[in-house]
Amino acid sequence: MKAYPPSIANLIQAFSKFPGIGPRSAERMVFYLLKSEPQESHRMADLIVRVKEHTFFCSQCFNLSEAKLCHICTDENRNPEELLVVEDPKDVIAFEKAGTFRGYYHVLLGSLSPQEGIGPDEIRLKELLQRVDKGTIKEVILGTSARSEGEATVLYISELMKNRPVTVTRIARGVSVGHTLEFTDQATLARALEGRHAVKS
């Protein structure tokens, strides 16, 4: 990379920071920009700035949103008695693509991981409890991953719900072993949701 002028070398280095993008891909991205029309790089730069300035976490469910409440939380045609708990906004997108869930979501923005020092206060559990304690929700569906962190999160939430008047179910296992939900195909995800079982009634 030393052979490149600084403006190119710096951009290659910047693109290399994206997940899954190595120096060679970063190099190809820079050359794509060099070959394209000037307005193309302006457009890209604008989009990058925009995504940070205009995207927030929904104040209710912590899904990504351009407004205080996301498009799912403001959709009144959904079932307020069902709440699907996931780890990441990407999981909401996966379930929405599967298309069978008609309740609301709660995004934890992580999962419990004692090894990594992620405890209950680091993820959106307090906010989950506040929503459940409003009394409308009848079923909390755990759509967390089957990784050990997801497992710890399931146990913790089941414990939290113990004396609360809600059913806690969990999506069928086997769908996300070794994978995050985003890589699970839509039909499998729909089946996993359909095949959910009670962990606390």
Residue 156 CA neighbour count, 13 Å, CB half? 23
Among 11, 26, 30, 61, binds Zn ion (CB under 5 A): 61
Phi, psi of 99 (to 5 degrees): 80, 5
Closer by beta carbon to Zn ion, 73 or else 141:
73
By CB under 5 A, tell whether 26 contacts Zn ion: no
Residue written as token pair 């959910």: 196
Among 12, 73, 141, 181, binds Zn ion (CB under 5 A): 73
Q: How far is the CB of 106 from Zn ion (least distance, A)?
A: 9
Q: Judge whether 137 and 166 are in contact, CB under 8 Å.
A: yes
Closer by beta carbon to Zn ion, 29 or else 58:
58
By CB under 5 A, tell whether 63 contacts Zn ion: yes
Closer by beta carbon to Zn ion, 66 or else 133:
66
Q: How far is the CB of 59 from Zn ion (least distance, A)?
A: 8
Q: Which of 98, 84, 79 is nearest to 168 (CA)?
A: 84
Closer by beta carbon to Zn ion, 26 or else 86:
86
What is the distance between the alpha carbons of residues 197 and 160, in angstroms, rounded to a whole number? 18
Binding string, residues 132-171; x marks residues near Zn ion by CB under 5 A: ----------------------------------------
Q: How far is the CB of 179 from Zn ion (least distance, A)?
A: 25
By CB under 5 A, tell whether 107 contacts Zn ion: no
Q: Judge whether 92 and 105 are in contact, CB under 8 Å.
A: yes
Residue written as token pair 């290399």: 16
What is the distance between the alpha carbons of residues 34 and 89, in angstroms, rounded to a whole number? 33
For Zn ion (CB under 5 A), the number of binding residues is 6
Q: How far is the CB of 88 from Zn ion (least distance, A)?
A: 14
What is the distance between the alpha carbons of residues 137 and 79, in angstroms, rounded to a whole number? 9
Q: What are the tokens at 190? A: 């729909």
Q: Which residues would be at the binding site for Zn ion (CB under 5 A)?
A: 58, 60-61, 63, 70, 73
